[in-house]
Amino acid sequence: MSGFLYPFGKRAILHFEKSISSSEGTRMSSWQARAFSRAIRAIVRRQSWGHEDALASRARRVFGAPPAYGWLAAVGLTRRACRSGSVRAEWLIPRRLRPGVVFYVHGGGFVSCSAATHRPIAAALARLTRRRVFSVDYRLAPEARLPAAHEDVAAAYGWMVSSGAHPSEIALVGDSAGGNLVLSLAVQLRDQEAAAPACVAAFSPWTDLTGRSPSVRMNADRCAMFHPENMRDFAAAALGSGQPDTPIVSPVYADLHDLPPVLLHVGSTELLLDDARRVHYRILHSNGESSLRVYDDVPHCWQMLFPFVPEAAASLRETAAFIDASLGSARRVPRVA
């Protein structure tokens, strides 16, 4: 399996620091990952996405159309729309069910994408875990600035709990902006002294909207999808006049103690590499449980390339195993409203 795993516990910090200098970048990614990275660099990567409305419009054209294979991903699963008050989501339900629910939140820079666009990831998680996946939609910027998305995700989670799912039966999973949203949700639930979800998994989470992570500069020429200037412009579109370093919109600045177990996956050449590393460090320093795997030279949100890229399959299978272990104590199957 590509990448290197940083296990739970305080000793992981020393292992992590050693691995940074001696192991990263020493293993070659699959030819499939390299081919997709080249294609993404040629088709998607651009110096400027424009500002606010122009940026959102372009991002929605590039990222917002469901992948051509998206409908195939859901074959064999029951797909059911959820519309309840302000809650908008999609259920993906496998035929053979195990207890527990995967609460999935899509990425898209806070300005684009939907449950439909990210159906390849959600469907893969439904199949691999044999659990219901609740894939959440939320308001997008710049029409609805942050923290509107955080409010919508919290409302969807509250609706799920009120519908019969116990928090210990829920695994939070998100990619990119969605990784930000599930980490922020876990922090909010802790601060409210609410029952914690079973676990949190985040793929390449965008945790610092200030763009201060060192990898934003260090990987400027290596990232297949984004330039550093893009991160600034996406953040401006998402925030408007809001401050980028407030804990709710940039969870790397939140107090990260007493969270459920966290799994982080990120690519070695991504601008967001250190957004994941810094969260991992802070959780470990707070005596929490965090596991970080860095995959070599994969494009941002490579899990969308399941099942075509080996690293996508490896990431999602490891996440499914993490969810299985975390939900092992779940006893009942919550109803679907």
The model's pLDDT over 190-224, given as tens digits with 9 standing for 90+, comes to 999 999 999 999 999 999 999 999 999 999 999 99
Active-site pick, 291, 300, 318, 326: 300
And the tokens for 129? 């875990």
Q: Sheet of 290-295: strands edge to edge?
A: 4-6, 290-295, 262-267, 199-203, 170-175, 101-105, 132-137, 87-93, 78-84
Contact between 2 and 302 under an 8 Å Cβ cutoff? The reply is no
Active-site residue, selected from the candidate residues 37, 184, 265, 270:
270
Find where tokens 């908008």 sit: 88
- Residues making up the chain, counted from first to last: 337
What is the block-wise mean pLDDT of the chain (337 residues), using blocks of 10 residues?
A: 38 34 56 97 96 96 77 89 96 96 98 96 97 98 98 98 97 98 98 98 98 98 98 98 98 98 98 98 98 98 96 98 86 45
End-to-end Cα spacing for the chain = 38
Average pLDDT, the chain: 90
Q: Give yes or no: 176 in active site.
A: yes
How many CA atoms lie within 13 Å of 153's alpha carbon, on the beta-carbon side?
33
Residue 67's pLDDT is what?
66
Is 280 catalytic? The answer is no
- For residue 70, with 0-12 CB atoms within 10 Å meaning exposed, 13-18 middle and 19 or more buried, which class applies? middle
pTM beyond 0.75: the answer is yes
Burial of residue 22 (number of CB atoms within 10 Å: 0-12, 13-18, 19+): exposed
Among 312, 295, 300, 250, which Cα is nearest to 270's? 300
- What are the tens digits of pLDDT across the range 56-113? 999 999 998 776 667 778 889 999 999 999 999 999 999 989 999 999 999 999 999 9
| Count of other CB atoms within 10 angstroms of residue 332 | 11
In DSSP notation, 133-189 reads EEEEE---TTTS-TTHHHHHHHHHHHHHHHTT--GGGEEEEEETHHHHHHHHHHHHH
Catalytic member of 2, 37, 135, 176: 176
Q: Is 300 a catalytic residue?
A: yes
In 3-state terms, what secondary structure has residue 117?
coil
Q: What count of Cα atoms within 13 Å lies in the side-chain half-sphere of residue 42?
A: 6
**Protein fold of 4-326:** Rossmann fold (3.40.50)
